[in-house]
Amino acid sequence: MHHPLSTLTALVEQIARTQDPSAMMATIVQRLSELLNVEVCSIYLCNPERDSLILATTKGLSAEAVGQAHLAINEGLVGHIAATLSAVNLADAPADDRFVYIPETHEMAYHRFLGVPLLHLRKLVGVLVIQGHQREPFSEEDEAFLITVASQLGSTLYQLHRDGKWMTNLPDSSSPYRRYNGVKGAPGVGCGRLWQIHPQMSLSDVKPSITSNPAQQKQDFQDALAAVREELESGSGRLGQHLPADVGALFHVYQMMLQSPELSERVIKLISEGASAEWALKQTIDEMAGMFEQSADPYMQARSEDIRNIGQRLLNQILERDQQVIETPDEELVLAGDLISIADIAAFPQERIRGLICTDGSALSHTAIVANALGIPAVMGVEGLELEHNRGARVIVDGNRAECVINPPPALLSEYKRMIVQEQRFMKGLDRLRDQAAETLDGVRIRLLTNTGLLADATPGLQRGAEGVGLYRSEIPFMVHHSFPTEHEQYRIYQKVLKAYSPYPVSMRTLDIGGDKQLPYFEINESNPYLGWRGIRFTLDNTQLLVSQIRAMLRAHAEHGNLKILVPMISRVDEIKTVRELVEKALAALERDGIHASMPEIGMMIEVPSAMLLLPKLAPYIDFVSVGSNDLTQYLLAVDRNNPRVSNLFDNLHPAMLVALEQILTQCRKLDLPVSLCGEMASDPIAVLLLIALGYDTLSLSAYNIPKIKLLIRSVRREDLLPLLEQAKDCTDESEIRDLFRPVVEQLGWSADGPALPSDYESRG
């Protein structure tokens, strides 16, 4: 039987157009039974709650068996396929000793059998089976075609399988219980009624339109600007008592966006050219947000959400449809929407907000920053959740695992409520650790620094006990302009950050921009931006930009004396040598201008493997080293963590990373170079234990995680971790390493997803 590629393509396209889960699966089995001319085609999916398979849909077997036929992994032919992940092609299935008859299916009449596993990124999704009356195996061509179909369907069925919707379409399955995954916005667990926040018209829905009265449209826009400005001032006042002062400054960031000439002048210009206020606003916001969305850096991408939030609120005011919270249920609420702005949060009583769910957004959005500051669990970028359909539903927000659960069963709800009580007990009293040292029980001192990139990020780090800034991202001023910012504009920003942390050190990273972080006024097109014109390569080729930034940093350093310059993406000796020469020349030039600044420490980030191998030759030109664990892992493993096809292979605890981290530390000690580590690894409890055992004594992490990691450090003995480290060196993959350290974490009452209160926490003070 001939199965051309066009047949497979048509099948996949037809399935992609089918939105309803039950209809999608019905389409698959119906079309395959027709294409292969077989009497039976069935799909078995993994039961997400048990280690088993369930008949999800069929063409040919009894409909009564759907939802009723269960097989354990390795039970029957289907279970054997699931266990071995291999195809089975038989002439007479009932005669095989692995065959298990399920009466509900009425399948004894069928003899020939062909089944193949359904996989997505190495994970078992289910099993695809075809059967027929004849007593002969299926042809090699049929087998090859079914394997090809299964490889194409694996991803589609994984999405359907993950959110659990298919189970609600099964007979006798009336439970509306659903799970949805997203990305971590803010840790913690919360439970409440889902309260949808959404505009009656989305900015994305605005269509091209013209105006016959430009003067009135301009006035409408100006009135909207004033109304949103007043709204933000009011919201800032309501949240002021709950937010750290500088996180409250996020409202000021929004105010600055409202006052941006790029926003108002562009909208007014488009209205003058004939566009309606709504259409002019949409075009302007799309342009401004697009500048950030082009970046491959998640931190930069997240800034587009703030711009779109402001644009949406302006549109609401123009249309006079802004959602007002007149009366909400007098109970605990979970706010949900495409994007939830800071002003949205401020409109609700803080004591009633138990969680945030955003179907868009990222962990680096302002919404996530505020949620962290307020201690509200948040999950961002949730896929597949139909907010309108689930309004008023009971929902659990699990920020630790980045998932939300709609209409949880009573037993699950009870367990989560127990976790919430544990988390509340854990968080209570962590403030007492602010001024205490991050020191192990056997006296090993670890210095905890914070990562930041907005001035609004500064105060949370200080309030949670940060001993300085290990990584300040300096890209923001360059991203929000329509031209390169002046030296003085940069100086004003850097001066505020250094002042906020004085006398603690602040490691300011020089401009890390290039093919993966597009500037709106300096386009770079590359086929592989991660290996292209970025970081120090870009700034050295545009020396005037680097000199301007160095001068701005040094001017701020002259006033506060706590600057450390950090250079990204070093891969060659001449790069860091040139940077030091530029700093020395800038100091001399400033001295002639009457500005007296001392020579700051100059360090480099180890992100590229060549920098690790060249350390002895780089040492004469640097004063310290910072290991960028995210990029080093990515380059060392050749894994793009933003690529869903391989992101599951990204793990900071890969054995190769362990070798690299030990080698870096050993060399730095020989060269008398202080070394720190930043990135996600510094917030991972198991990774932190490994780093302590290795001998790393300075970590840079997000402000929110500092108290938790400090408590972890104060709860262990480094001496007890050393034998585990020696065993880890013999491990062949990251899962073995995690399994070694996991018991230590769990004995302290922690988990890989989020900490619970250690049993003797109160006695530790």
Q: Where in the sequence numbering do the catalytic residues fall?
A: 366, 678
**How far is it, in rounded angstroms, from Cα 191 to Cα 198?**
20
CA distances from 267 to 244, 426, 452, 710 (A): 34, 49, 32, 49
**How far is it, in rounded angstroms, from Cα 159 to Cα 385?**
12
**How far is it, in rounded angstroms, from Cα 727 to Cα 747?**
19
**How far is it, in rounded angstroms, from Cα 88 to Cα 77?**
8
Q: Are 178 and 366 in contact (CB under 8 A)?
A: no
- Residue 403 gets which letter from DSSP? E
**How far is it, in rounded angstroms, from Cα 150 to Cα 127?**
9
Q: Are 727 and 736 in contact (CB under 8 A)?
A: no
Count how many residues are written for the chain.
765
Residues linked to residue 699 through DSSP beta bridges, in sequence order: 448, 677
Q: Which residues contact 698 (CB under 8 A, 6 or more apart)?
A: 446, 447, 449, 470, 674, 675, 676, 677
- Residue 205 gets which letter from DSSP? G
Q: Are 615 and 671 in contact (CB under 8 A)?
A: yes
Please report the sign of the dihedral spanned by the C-alpha atoms of residue 157, residue 159, residue 164, residue 165: negative
SS3 per residue for 617-646: HHHHHCCEEEEEHHHHHHHHHCCCCCCCCC
CA distances from 474 to 23, 480, 506 (A): 50, 12, 12
Identity at 281, one-letter amino acid code: L
CA dihedral 329, 330, 336, 340 (to 10 degrees): 110
In the block, tokens 């609120």 appear at: 313
CB neighbour class for 12 (10 Å; exposed up to 12, middle 13-18, buried from 19) = middle
Residues linked to residue 189 through DSSP beta bridges, in sequence order: 398
